[in-house]
Amino acid sequence: MSRLLAVDWGSSRLRAALLDDEGRVLDRRSAQSGMLNVQQSGFGEVFESQFGDWMDVPGTRCLMAGMVGSRQGWVEAEYVACPAGIEDFVGHLRRVAPDASRSGRDIAIVPGASCIVDDIPDVLRGEEVKMLGVLDLLGVESAVVLSPGTHSKWMTVENGRLARFATAMTGEVYGLLRRESILARSMPAQTEDALDGPVFDDAVRRALRSCSLLQTAFSVRTRALFGELPPASLASALSGLVIGEELRCRHIEEGQAVALVGAPALTERYARALRLCGAEVRTFGEEAVWRGLWAIDRKRARRKGGGA
């Protein structure tokens, strides 16, 4: 039997799937043991408690992606420079040494990627696997892949290689404005905001024809002040302004294909906004992560097999 334990170990969560030979999900587990909640010396322990039983079955390998490979993670897997294809990620897999876990475990961490645009370095970690998964699922060699979130990553793939990418601090800026700014004073103090579709769409359109979020954001307060928007819709207005700002700078053309990969609550909003820009959207969830890790595992197996 040959099985792959695919793990996405990020800052705040740990998610994993056990895959069979064909990449089909046999079982899944997740935990709140994100990187920020684990002592640097405790990764092996958490790993064993979460996955020891799965790894004890002979023929089970493990590939991990995400912040677990950062300097503050379990073992640092250095960034691969763009342009980078699947062979580069396979070539720089970082083996977790036996003494850091149980001897004999076959565990490796996928490196992140770096690129330089306009003399400024940028980095990502974890999104490279989503990108590889999307390519595999779509069966394409070129794509624009967007992984929205705290830090959105826009990945441009050409001829099967990650050519370049850009980071937008959209989710983090949204969260700060939503919870910590003067705008929060007009909004209900709840953590999950229901989407007011028309208000969101209108805000996206405004952002698309505006110049900067610095200029548009205050409208959330003034429109509340003048009774133009009910308190419960203000977060949707802000969300539309922030996501619209991100999309404005991507200069999306009518019919441009964008592969969107992330959690449903977020991809729903991005898909909506992207379609307002005229984009053709395909949406993927965590299956892209499992597929990306599975693709890396297959490529590694072929390499070991003599490059045939």
Residues that bind a copy of itself (CB under 8 A): 118, 120-123, 150-151, 166-170, 172-173, 176-177, 180-182, 206, 211-215, 217-219, 222-223, 225-226, 228, 242, 245-246, 248-249
Please report how close the Cβ of residue 73 comes to a copy of itself at its closest, in angstroms.
14
Return the structure tokens found at 292.
């990306």
- Shortest Å distance, C-beta 117 to a copy of itself: 10
The nearer residue to a copy of itself, 136 or 246, going by C-beta atoms, is 246
**What is the DSSP pairing of strand 280-284 with strand 257-261?**
parallel
Residue from 228, 230, 237 nearest 207 by CA: 237
Q: How far is the CB of 154 from a copy of itself (least distance, A)?
A: 9
Q: Which is nearer to a copy of itself, 33 or 70 (CB)?
A: 70
Nearer to a copy of itself, 213 or 281 (CB): 213
Closest distance to a copy of itself from the beta carbon of 29 (Å): 28
Residue type (1 letter), 38: V
**Joined tokens for residue 256:** 């441009």
Residues in Cβ contact with 9 at an 8 Å cutoff, skipping those fewer than 6 apart: 15, 34, 35, 64, 65, 66, 67, 68, 73, 74
For the CB of residue 50, give the shortest distance to a copy of itself in the complex, in Å. 26
Residue with the two structure tokens 């005229």? 278
> In the chain, what is the straight-line distance between the N-terminal and C-terminal CA atoms, in Å?
22
Nearer of residues 14 and 168 to a copy of itself, judged by Cβ: 168
DSSP symbol at 29: E
CB of 1 to a copy of itself, least distance (A): 41
User: Nearer to a copy of itself by C-beta: 11 or 283?
Assistant: 11
Q: Tell me if residue 301 falls in helix, strand or coil.
A: helix
Q: Which is nearer to a copy of itself, 50 or 147 (CB)?
A: 147
Distance CA 160, CA 243 (A): 28
DSSP 7: E
